[in-house]
Chain A
Amino acid sequence: MTPEQKKEELSRAYVHAVAARCGFAVGSWSQDQGCVDVSIGASSALGGGTLEDPRLDLQLKCTSDGRTLHEDHIAWQLTRPHYDKLRARSSIPKLLVVLVLPGLEAQWLDHSAEALVIRRCAYWLSMAGLPPITSDSKVVHLPRTNVFSPEQLMSMMERVSRGEPL
C-alpha cells in the first residue's frame, strides 16, 4: 500500500470512528462519486428537527504536509471542477473533510492495550453557496475551529434534521 493509500484509509477510519461514537451509520462508495467518498446517516430525527433521517456526504482528503497548517485555518487547494462540485447545490449537505497527519508516518497511528491513537485531527468545510471561480484552481480555508469531532458532527446532524444551514 502506498503512503497515499494509507492516508486515504486512515481518513476513512477516522470518520468511521467519530460517526460510530455518535451512533451514526457510514456508507462508503467504491470510487469518488461526484466528490462523495462516504455518507453519514442517522435513523431518526435529531435536535428537535423534523427530518427523520438526516445525512451528510463527505469528500475526504488527507495530508501530512505541515505547510497546509496555518494559525487559524487549514489551506487546501482544489481544481476548478472539484471546487464547483463541492459548492454545487445538492439534496444532501456536502462537506470537505481534511485529516491532517504528522509529517512522520510512524506518528500517524499508535496502539497499546490502553489506547488506539490516530493523530492528529480532521477539519471540515461546507462550500455550499461559494461563488464560482475563473482560475483553474482555488485554495479554500478550513477554519481550525471546524473540528470533525463527535460533538461537532452531532451538532451538524441536528442542524440538518432541523433544516438549518451548516
Chain B
Amino acid sequence: MNVSLVPGIDAVRPSDVQQYLRQKGWLPRGEPREEVVEYIQAVDDTTVKVRVLLDPAFSDYALRTAELIDVLARFERRAFLEILDDLLIPPGDRIRFRIFSESTRSGTIALDDSIRLRQAARQLFLSSAHSTLKPQRHFARLAQASALELLRDCRETQTERGSYVTSLLVPVTPPVGSPELEEPYARRVTRTLMGALAEAFRSVEVGEPATLLDRAQSGVSSNFLTALADMRPSGERSFVEIDVSWSRARPEPVLARSRVKFEQGVFGMFTEAARALRETSPVPGLEVEGFVVRLERPEKGVEQPGEVIIATPLEGYGSAKIHVRLSGAAYAAATNAHRDGLQVRVFGTLTKMGRRFELRDPSGFELLAEAS
C-alpha cells in the first residue's frame, strides 16, 4: 500500500473516522490511551480491532489511517478508495450513479451523455423530494419550495473510478438528543428515492411493469420514471447501477435494497409506465399561468360562459395548450387579457384526454400585471 500516492489520507479527521465506525456498529474499547482509541467488532468467533489516532499531528497519522482503511476495506468488502471518499466528504447520504458500458470502461463518457445523466439524477431526486412531501402519480410541476431548497443544498461529489460514476451528496443533519424526533426531510427523501428504485427493480424482476402504476405511495411517479428512463445507457450489455451510502451522522436505516441495477433493455418499460401515469393522472390544485391564445363562446352575451385555451409550459410536455371553461365574468377578463397580451392565472384540476389538456373546476382566474 503506497500511502503517499493516495491524496487526502492526511485530511481524514479523527472525529469523522469515529463517527463512521460507530455508524457501522464498531464499539469503542476502553478509554483512549495516549491519544489512540481502539474500536472492536465481533465477527463470527473473532474480534476485529482497529486503532484510531485522535491527534493528526502524529508523524505516522497518514500511515495508521491508511492501515485502518485497509482493514475496513477488507471487512466491508469495499474498495479502499470508496471508504476513503466516505471519510473525506461531509456527512450526508450519498447516492452513486454508475454507468457501465463499453464506451465508459476508460472512465470517460460522452459529454452529452454526462449532461443527460446529471439532469436525470437531478430530476430523480427532485421528484422523490416531491413524493416525500405528498405522494402523487404525476407532478405537473416540480416546483415545491422546500424540495427546491433541499436540491440547492445537495452537492455533487468528485467522480470516482469504476466505469463512469457520479454521486449526489444529500446533506443529512445529525440527531440531537434522545429519543430521536422525526427524521429530517433530507433523510426521508433519500429513503423515498431508494424505496422507489426498489419498486422499479421489483417490477423488472417479476416482469410486470403495470405494478408501477400503483406505487405512488412508494415514491413512484411519472416524473420519477421519466428521469429513470433518461438514464438509459448506450450500447449492448450496458447497465446503470444506483446505490446509497448512508450518512455517518445518523443511524443507518434498514432498507429492502440499498443497491439496484438496471440493464439497458428495461428502460423502455420505464418510459411507457411514465407515460401511462402521466396521461391517466388528474393533477388537482394546479396553478396555470400563461397567455390566452384562443377564445370560444358559442352563445353571445356578457353573462355567458365560454372556453379559452391557455398556452403554458407543462412538466414533461414542454409547451402545452390547456382548455379552460370559464364563467361569463372570467371569460370577459380573458378576452381583455388576450387583447392586451397579458398573462393570466387560474387554478384547477388538470386532466388529459387523448391529446387534449383540460383544466376542470377552475377557480381564482385573474389577469397578471405586465412586468415593469
Say whether, besides A34-B59, A85-B59, A91 and B1 are in contact (CB < 8 Å): no
Which chain B residue lies CB-closest to A53? B49
Say whether, besides A34-B59, A85-B59, A92 and B3 are in contact (CB < 8 Å): no
Q: Is the CB of A33 within 8 A of B59?
A: no
From A30, A85, A88, give the contact of B1 (CB < 8 A).
A30
Q: Which listed segment binds A: B60-68, B312-320, B347-355?
A: B60-68
Measured in the bound complex, the distance between the Cα atoms of B64 and A57 in whole Å is: 11
From B3, B4, B64, give the contact of A91 (CB < 8 A).
B64
Answer yes or no: A157 CB below 8 A from chain B CBs.
Answer: no
Q: Is the CB of A33 within 8 A of B57?
A: no
Q: Is the CB of A57 within 8 A of B1?
A: no
Answer yes or no: A6 CB below 8 A from chain B CBs.
Answer: no
Chain A: minimal CB distance from B7 (Å): 15
Answer yes or no: B36 CB below 8 A from chain A CBs.
Answer: yes
Answer yes or no: A46 CB below 8 A from chain B CBs.
Answer: no
Measured in the bound complex, the distance between the Cα atoms of B66 and A36 in whole Å is: 13
Chain B: minimal CB distance from A165 (Å): 12
Chain A: minimal CB distance from B65 (Å): 10
Q: Is the CB of B58 within 8 A of A33?
A: no
Those of A82-128 within 8 Å (CB) of chain B: 85, 88-92, 94
Chain B: minimal CB distance from A59 (Å): 12
Say whether, besides A91-B36, A91-B53, A29 and B60 are in contact (CB < 8 Å): no
Those of A53-99 within 8 Å (CB) of chain B: 53, 57, 85, 88-92, 94
Q: Is the CB of B2 within 8 A of A31?
A: yes
Answer yes or no: B102 CB below 8 A from chain A CBs.
Answer: no
Complex contacts, B58 vs chain A, CB 8 Å: 89-91
Complex contacts, A30 vs chain B, CB 8 Å: 1-2
Chain A: minimal CB distance from B3 (Å): 5
Answer yes or no: B361 CB below 8 A from chain A CBs.
Answer: no
Measured in the bound complex, the distance between the Cα atoms of B63 and A31 in whole Å is: 12
Q: Is the CB of A89 within 8 A of B4?
A: no
Measured in the bound complex, the distance between the Cα atoms of B60 and A88 in whole Å is: 9
Complex contacts, B61 vs chain A, CB 8 Å: 91
Measured in the bound complex, the distance between the Cα atoms of B61 and A88 in whole Å is: 11
Answer yes or no: B35 CB below 8 A from chain A CBs.
Answer: yes
Q: Is the CB of B62 within 8 A of A34?
A: yes
Which chain A residue lies CB-closest to B62? A34
Measured in the bound complex, the distance between the Cα atoms of B53 and A94 in whole Å is: 16
- 15 other A-B residue contacts (CB within 8 Å) besides A29-B3, A34-B60, A36-B63: A30-B1, A33-B2, A33-B4, A34-B59, A34-B62, A53-B49, A89-B57, A90-B58, A91-B35, A91-B58, A91-B60, A91-B64, A92-B60, A92-B64, A163-B34
Chain A positions near chain B (C-beta within 8 angstroms): 29-31, 33-34, 36, 51, 53, 57, 85, 88-92, 94, 163
12 residue pairs bridging A and B, Cβ less than 8 Å apart: A29-B63, A34-B60, A36-B60, A89-B57, A89-B58, A90-B58, A90-B60, A91-B34, A91-B58, A92-B60, A92-B64, A163-B33
